[in-house]
Structure 1
Amino acid sequence: MIIVKIGGNILDNPERLQAFLLDFAQMPGPKVLVHGGGKIASALGQKLGITPKMVEGRRITDAETLDLVTMVYGGLVNKNVVAKLQALGCNAIGLTGADANIIPAQKRPVREIDYGFAGDVAGPESINADALEFMLEAGLTPVFAPLTHDTKGSMLNTNADTIASVLATALAHKYKVQLVYSFEKKGVLQDAADDASVIPYITAGKYKLLKETGVVNAGMVPKLDNAFAALQQGVAQVLICEGEALPSINTRQYSGTTLSLN
């Protein structure tokens, strides 16, 4: 099965989103889609007088912002994606981590920075995989918004890359899982200024070297940390590519980055 995470660069562009969802809908077998939506939330928040608060690229989720992202991620973005997939013949069901208790989480502890209502997922063992498997076996395609819950009645804003990773590892005991991170670049780049410098294959050892030499840095580090954590916990393969590469991922024409342990 395949789990695909899409980011704002696709969600913000109606033509790219439609093309991506057509490719996703046509993929055979069980599949899960995880989406972000931060840019859309920020833009709508500005219209409502809610200024986004960011520290090191991470959103501070105060009570007002939590209401905003719950509405935007779990409502506007999620249901629009589900409706578009239905129109393409893909029987999608829109979910947050609160639905069927699939992804319980904990409010991030306050350390140097108070991230507010940000959720940290304990790990794949906390996922209600039985409920997710039930939906997949019923022929449904889950579409997850980047929201979890604290089991005490509060929603939590949670990183979409992390959600994709923990869902993949939770399902790896039953399925051969392919995890795809689709983002704005063609893959992991040797030179951030050169979009053609895609590194086609990265092992755990090579990743360590790329971090040490600064080739991989900033926002790409947590993405790859999540990816290698998933591989260590049974996920068969992790791919990082642009959305347009989705139809080619299992062919010789695939041009993104493939991650493996060795």
Structure 2
Amino acid sequence: MDRLTIIKVGGKVVEEPESLNALLDQFQRISGNKLLVHGGGRTATVIAEKLGIETQMVDGRRITDAKTLEVVTMVYGGLVNKRIVAGLQARGINAVGLTGADFNLIKAHKRPIKDIDYGFVGDVDDVNVSELRLLINENVVPVVAPLTHDAKGQLLNTNADTIASELATELANYFKVYLFFCFEKKGVLLNPDDDSSVIYDLNLQQFNEYKAEGIISAGMIPKLENSFRAKMKGVQEILITNPENIITGRGTRII
């Protein structure tokens, strides 16, 4: 099997030109097959605010009403996605921007209302990577935005970490998949205020203990839940780190 490196980038890294350029420089250095999944939540929040649309978050997940869905579709599928594609083209990397609706890549259903109504948020049902594999095998780099569809014409906002882990899991049937979650910190921290307190190896029992103690919270919870799920389903290696350490391989390793 050939190696495939999947980079999921979010947080400040994807929002600020300097940090995004630094990430793309590192991404360029990765040899072999690669794929990039991005977020863009902070940009969506800023633009929503300018449009007078309130942002609501629960445990790191965005409540997506109809107006918010319009904003995230514009930001994720448009502004952020095309900035990244253009940045890769400038580095000689032939890239194409996609959402889950393109090529019928990721089908999802609207999350059922239990304790919280998340609105137009999608939970993944099916991942179809046949066209994605053709692109990868032709040395095209897919850049995937965190939007899915329900096969009935409805777009859905889906957590970018979920998108990355679902793609990694499916593509692990065809490639040796190495999945990197990239954000502004060096890894998962024991102390959020101390950037040197990186947890270098993290297993499921430790994760559950740290979560119960509140050491791991908010947006890191879905990131790690997705990581453990992907690891159990055959993804070769999963690392949570910052752009500078993509090449060195330092950060929090899921074991």
TM over 0.5: yes
The residue type paired with residue 141 of structure 2 is T
Encode CA deviations 1:171-201: one digit per residue, 9 max, x unaligned: 0011111110111211111222211011111
Q: TM-score, normalised by structure 2?
A: 0.94
- Residue of structure 1 equivalent to 2:254: 259
Are positions 1:232 and 2:235 aligned together?
no
How many pairs align? 252
Question: C-alpha displacement at 1:165, in angstroms?
Answer: 0.3
Distance verdict in 2 for CA 1:217–1:47, change over 3 Å: closer
Summarize deviations over 1:19-51 as a string: whole Å, max 9, x none. Answer: 110110221111111111111111112222222
2:122–2:158 CA contact under 8 A, matched in 1: yes
Output the amino acid matched with 1:38. Answer: G
Aligned-partner SS, 1:247: coil
C-alpha contact 2:59 2:219 (8 A) present in aligned 1: no
Q: Distance in 2 between matches of 1:216 and 1:61?
A: 24
Q: How far has the Cα of 1:212 moved from its partner?
A: 4.5
Give the 3 Å change call, closer, same or farther, for CA 67–214 of structure 1 in structure 2. closer
- Structure 2 letter corresponding to 1:179: L
2:124 pairs with 1:121:
yes
Structure with the bigger percentage of strand: 2
Q: Tell me whether 1:247 sits opposite 2:247 in the alignment.
A: yes
Runs of 4+ in structure 1 over 4 Å off: none
Q: 1:110 to 1:209 in 2, by over 3 A?
A: closer
Deviation string for 1:101-138 (max 9, x for gaps)?
0111111111121111101113xxx2112111111011
SS of alignment partner, residue 177 of structure 1: strand
1:68, distance to aligned residue in structure 2 (A): 1.2
| CA RMSD across the alignment | 1.5
1:33 equivalent among 28, 32, 36: 36
| Offset of residue 214 of structure 1 | 4.1
Moved more, 5-14 or 159-168: 5-14
CA distance in structure 2 between the partners assigned to 1:2 and 1:41 by the alignment: 27
Matched, 1:90 2:85: no
Match of 2:111, as an amino acid?
A: R
Q: Within 5 A, what are the aligned runs for 1:134-153?
A: 134-153=134-153
Question: Per-residue CA shift, 1:83-107, capped at 9, x if unaligned?
Answer: 1100001111000000000111111
Query: Which blocks of at least 5 consecutive residues in structure 2 are unaligned?
Result: none
Question: 2: CA distance between counterparts of 1:232 and 1:189?
Answer: 23
Which is further off, 48-57 or 17-26?
48-57
Query: Identity percentage over the alignment?
Result: 53
Distance 2:72 2:205 in 1: 37
**1:40-74 Cα deviation digits (max 9, x unpaired):** 11111222222223334322211111111111110
Give the match's secondary structure for 1:81. Answer: helix
- Tell me which residue corresponds to 2:157: 157
